[in-house]
Amino acid sequence: MNPSKSNLQTVLESGQFAVTAEAGPPRGAKPEIVRQKAKILKGCVDACNVTDNQTSVVRMCSLAACKILRDEGIDAVMQMVCRDRNRIAAQSDILGAAALGISNLLCLSGDHQTFGDHPQAKNVFDIDSIHLLQIAKGMRDESKFSGGKEVDGPPDIFIGAAANPFADPFKIQVPRLAKKVAAGAQFIQTQCVFNLDKFVEFMKGVRDRGLHEKTYILAGITPVKSVPMIEYMATKVAGMDVPPALIERIKGVEKKNQKKEGIKIAVETIQQLKEIKGVRGVHIMAIEWEEAVPEIVQQANLKVK
Amino acid sequence: MIVGEQKPIEDILSYIDGCERILLAGCHGCVTVCCAGGQKEVDVLASMIELGRMKRRQPCKITKIMQERQCDVEFLEELIAKSKDHDVVLSMACGAGVQLVAENAGTLKVYPAINTNFIGAIHEKGVWGERCQTCGDCKLYLTGGICPVTRCAKSLMNGPCGGSRDGKCEVNSEISCGWQLIIDRLEATGCLDQYEKILEPVDWSRSRDGGPRKLVREDLR
């Protein structure tokens, strides 16, 4: 084993079904909030993503929260969006992260700032997520900055990207994944899978092109807490595909048991995902509900390193 | 063309507060076509200012003038000559016109009466849409004639973000997803395979990010 490899990369390369989770950083400077999340997740995930000002709401930066997770013994995946930083800042943050031992990077475009609490902000989008992948790969593999100059000490990073099999237009989603793989995505974390049929269709397209052999695909899982939450996700969250039958299933359960049902659905989905060829792990996004992760991992009988 | 719209009258009145002799200057260029600063709009705005000032018991004298193009120094002579008997020039031209007048107006105040919105096209009467961000590095030949820099809310160069729904942008369901339009056009023109080519980052040094731009054509000088 290469000691410089991240735990996530090691697990995926070993062929073990990987488990990642997501931790949203706090809306303030309290490190103990991140430490608290780390305590909940430690021992039940192979790595944990830290979101980067998700939904364009200001939070503690991903890099700092990743460092706190790492100090707590969790392999961190730094999410980086193109909305807030140009190619200079992006490369600078990649170097800083690598220097602090954060060795997983997830390259994203980022939600538009109109969703957040600073809709008056100017967005950057100097580069897009595919460029960010190329740049990170170039820094690591060729010791070159995007401007062409030499990197004095390339960053040792495992590079990933997101995929949304449920986004429109559907026909472009496999080719878009192919572009991300060509740009350097070694692992992929998908949007939450609620519509399993559509995900199966997407994965067939992925396998037809052999992409599952070129990148590790982790399917997204979000446990549902309540009826308002699933209805919000179905109607208000961009790029989400929630079948009406799933909403009905949650509605059919007494309010006090809805969280339990949500976890049950997540576990059932994981069992089905494990059967899909090319799915190499799951990415559990329990939004402000990290406590659900250990329960799901245990009930789904997932093992972590 | 450049598309603009008139500022709120209260804003305009606040700029010219205390000025008695006002030169209200319209333009026969883009702002006439987009009905923001042509002859008709000059006449209407003059009446609105007179009314507003009468209400404030601060009557004023407005001189109306139309210029061929306020963004062309060749056409500014009459405007500049007339401006000398005034306290302020209120320009109904686009931002380029207002600035060129200001640069040539000596010590006279020059204020805008319209907001310059974008370079766009007319969809139907009364509806305009943005089409060009003047990035200086046109890639329309690669994207089916639809501009990703302008039409995608994130200016993504390599495909749609995961947020579009039914062909509409995540920002607003009134906005078409630029990449949906590009993909539809590529498909319609038999060029969908072009989608998988990774488009390089935009060279923003050719855009305004390289500093205010200037174009010199030696063949025309």
CB contacts under 8 A, B 132-191 vs A, are: 153-167, 170-172, 177, 179-180, 183-184
B114 in the same domain as B9: yes
DSSP-assigned letter for residue A154:
-
| Chain A hits for B158, Cβ within 8 Å | 128-131, 176, 179
**Residues B104 and B156 grouped into a single domain:** no
| Same domain? B140 vs B81 | no
**Residue-wise pLDDT tens digits, A196-241:** 999 999 999 999 999 999 999 999 999 999 999 999 999 888 789 9
Could you tell me if B50 and B143 lie in one domain? no
Instruction: Give backbone dihedrals phi and psi of A150, rounded to 5 degrees, phi first.
Output: -70, 140
Backbone angles phi, psi at A226, to 5 degrees: -160, 170
Going by C-alpha positions, the residue among B30, B7, B25 that lies closest to residue B67 is: B25
- Best of B133, B147, B154, B196 to disrupt the A interface (most A CBs within 10 Å) is B154
Whether A125 contacts A83, CB under 8 Å: yes
Final residue in a domain of this structure, among B118, B151, B183: B118
For residue B149, the model assigns a pLDDT of 97
Chain A contact for B94 (CB, 8 A cutoff): no
User: Residue range A165-173: average pLDDT?
Assistant: 93
* pLDDT of residue B54 exceeding 70: yes
pLDDT, position A3: 57
B10 assigned to some structural domain: yes
Residues B96 and B176 in one domain: no
pLDDT average, residue stretch A57-77? 98
Output the CA torsion sign for B187, A219, A281, A1: positive
Would you call the peptide bond into A169 cis, given omega within 30 degrees of 0 as the criterion? yes
Residue B7: CATH number of its domain? 3.40.50.2300
Give the pLDDT confidence of B89-109 residue by residue, as tens digits: 999 999 999 999 999 999 999
Q: Does domain A7-224+268-299 have CATH number 3.20.20.220?
A: yes
Q: Which of residues 132-161 of A touch B (CB under 8 A)?
A: 134, 146
Residue B164 domain-assigned (yes or no): yes
Q: Is there a domain that residue B130 lies in? A: no
**Cβ-defined contact of B195 to A131 (cutoff 8 Å):** no
ipTM of the complex: 0.93
Interchain pair B153, A126: CB under 8 A: no
Taking each helix axis from N to C end, the angle separating A258-274 and A292-299, rounded to the nearest 10 degrees, works out to 50
Judge if B94 and B144 occupy the same domain: no
Q: Report d(CA A126, CA B205) in Å as an integer.
A: 11
B74 & B30 share domain: yes
Cβ distance A125 to B167 less than 8 Å, yes or no, reads: no
Of B89, B118, B147, which residue is a domain's last?
B118
End-to-end Cα distance, chain A = 14
Listed in sequence order, the residues at least 6 apart from B42 whose beta carbon sits closer than 8 Å to its beta carbon are B24, B25, B26, B64, B66, B92
Contact state of A175 with B161 under an 8 Å Cβ cutoff: no
Q: What is the pTM of this model?
A: 0.95
User: In which domain, by residue range, is B36 found?
Assistant: 2-118
Give dist(CA B48, CA B28) in Å, integer: 21
Contact (CB<8Å) B183/A169? yes
Cβ of B165 and A164 within 8 Å?
no
Within this chain, do residues B98 and B143 fall inside the same structural domain, yes or no?
A: no
Q: For chain A, what is the mean pLDDT? A: 96
Looking at the complex, report in whole angstroms how far the Cα of residue B170 sits from the nearest Cα belonging to chain A.
6
Nearest to B1 by CA among B41, B33, B45: B33
What whole-number distance in Å separates Cα of residue B79 and Cα of residue B67? Answer: 7
Show Cβ contacts of residue A92 under 8 Å, excluding neighbours closer than 6 positions.
Answer: none
For CA atoms A245, A246, A251, A257, the dihedral sign is: positive
pLDDT tens, B130-149?
999 999 999 999 999 999 99
> What residues of A are in contact with residue B180 (Cβ under 8 Å)?
168-169
**B190 located within any domain:** yes
Do A110 and B154 make contact, defined as CB atoms within 8 angstroms? Answer: yes
- Chain-chain contact of B161 with A191 (C-beta, under 8 angstroms): no
How many domains does chain B contain in total?
Answer: 2
pLDDT band, very low/low/confident/very high, at A1 (cuts 50, 70, 90) = very low
Residues B59 and B152 in one domain: no
End residue of a domain, out of B118, B144, B169? B118
| Residue A238 at interface with chain B, using a CB cutoff of 8 Å | yes
Please indicate, yes or no, whether residues B89 and B21 belong to a single structural domain of this protein.
yes
Same domain membership, residue B147 and residue B114 = no
Phi, psi of B189 (to 5 degrees): -100, 10
**DSSP secondary structure string for all residues of A210-273:** TGGGTSEEEEEE-----HHHHHHHHHTSTT----HHHHHHHHTS-GGGHHHHHHHHHHHHHHHH
Q: What are the residue ranges spanned by the domains of chain A? A: 7-224+268-299
Contact B162 A191 (CB under 8 A): yes
CA angle (A172 as vertex; A171, A176 as ends), nearest 5: 145
A106 interaction partners in chain B (CB closer than 8 Å): none
Helices (H), B30-144: 30-33, 39-55, 77-83, 95-103
Q: Are residues B6 and B113 in the same domain?
A: yes
